[in-house]
Amino acid sequence: MSGKIRLGILGGGSDSLIGVLHRVASSMYDKYELVGGVFNVDYKKSVEFAQSLGIPTNRVYKDLEFLVKEEKKLPEEQRIQVVSVLTPNFLHFPMAKQLLENGFNVICEKPMTLTYEEAKILQQTLQDTKLVFAVTYTYTGYPMVRQMREMVKNGVLGSIQKVDAQYYQGWINPIIHDASQRKTTWRLDPEKSGISCCLGDIGTHAFDMLEYVSGHKIQSVLADLNFVYQDNKMDVDGTVLLRLNNQAKGLISASQIATGEENSFIVKIYGDKAGLKWEQENPNYLYLMEEGKALQVLKPGHAYNSDLSLDGTKLPPGHPEGIFDAMGNIYKGVAKAIRKEEYDHGEYPTIIDGVRGMNFIEKAVESHHKGNIWVEIEDEK
């Protein structure tokens, strides 16, 4: 495949943070060209947004149905090849399914769907089409997270015996105490967000991250969720105990009412030889802890890092990289897959990660409502 991959985007218009993140990330390695999409439900605003980016307005469409219809009229060498789905949660499944069924590769925001059942349907659709599907668990794109994964895989920590992820935000705290404001936030609306707010939004990041870096599957969960008010239908805080497939135990603690916290995501993995710790707000530092030895700090860009880590490092040592770079690494991995180039399976989260994420959300909520009992998570193939 020659030339840049032709990218379309659904949602992410105006001042959308997620839209900026995806557009910048897609441009990082010069692998993609944004050629069109549906940026807003208001067609006029969508066109105005495209004009502000310098995108030809003839490929800005009023809705997904029109995008599919018009793009399929174009010769294959001109039509959009991959579409990023950046819409609210309830639109992910129908949009992604329609795109796959019409021959478009997909990059989808998380959570992938509203339900586990939808996720399984999407998985079958992908198997039938043999296209590329990525779920943007963005933090797996950080070089030092990838280094963490490789060190665990290479036995630096020994046998994994404890995993721990803490993801704390405080942004819902001012909203949750005002009933009128709660009604204006789509993340607190089950019809738009699904059965979970906190676990669906950030807890699923923690779940995917622990499986990504540890190399082990989480087999069962016991959850205790916090809704703060009886009339609030969505969790905004929760603690989930974990049992892994190697007999290790673990914990996910997630909150959006951790007053004063911004985006504090901390991941810790402990083996019988050593431990590793990484903090999203200080992503260039990976801490290696060994019994009886001084704390070691690993940083990106150095030759001592793995090939997977170095492949996702854009700058020389000492130059900070952040969330845009992490998302850019995911887009880079997807580009390799679309072009049928060789790539490491740790380069982007697949539909399996998305399916397992939905499985986790539903089983954690089930565990809570059944009185905080252990619930098994299916093993996805």
CA–CA separation, 290 and 253 (whole Å): 25
DSSP 8-class letter at 210: H
pLDDT (mean) for 167-172: 97
Residues of the chain with CATH 3.30.360.10: 141-315+350-375
Residues of the chain with CATH 3.40.50.720: 5-138
pLDDT digits (tens, 9 = 90+) for 184-233: 888 999 999 999 999 999 999 999 999 999 999 999 999 999 999 998 99
pLDDT digits (tens, 9 = 90+) for 326-352: 999 999 999 999 999 999 999 999 999
pLDDT (mean) for 107-121: 96
- Residue 15: is its pLDDT beyond 90? no
- Residue 88: is its pLDDT beyond 80? yes
Q: 81 with 2: CB under 8 angstroms?
A: no
Q: Copy the structure tokens of residue 142.
A: 């950080």
pLDDT digits (tens, 9 = 90+) for 119-129: 999 999 999 99
pLDDT, residue 145, reads 98
- Residue 381: is its pLDDT beyond 80? no
46 three-class SS: helix
For 154-169, the DSSP string reads: TTTT-SEEEEEEEEE-
Q: 218 with 250: CB under 8 angstroms?
A: yes
CA–CA separation, 353 and 227 (whole Å): 26
Kindly report the CATH number that applies to the domain delimited by 141-315+350-375: 3.30.360.10
Return the CATH class of domain 5-138.
Answer: alpha beta
pLDDT (mean) for 79-86: 98
Element counts in the chain: helices (H) and strands (E):
14, 14
CA dihedral (190, 194, 196, 199) positive or negative = negative
Query: Is 184 or 97 the better-scoring residue by pLDDT?
Result: 97
pLDDT digits (tens, 9 = 90+) for 219-263: 999 999 999 999 899 999 999 999 999 999 999 999 999 999 999
Please, how many CA atoms are within 13 Å of residue 228, restricted to the half-sphere of its CB? 21
CA–CA separation, 338 and 114 (whole Å): 26
pLDDT, residue 183, reads 84
pLDDT, residue 32, reads 98
Give the total residue count for the chain: 381
Q: Which amino acid is at 151?
A: M
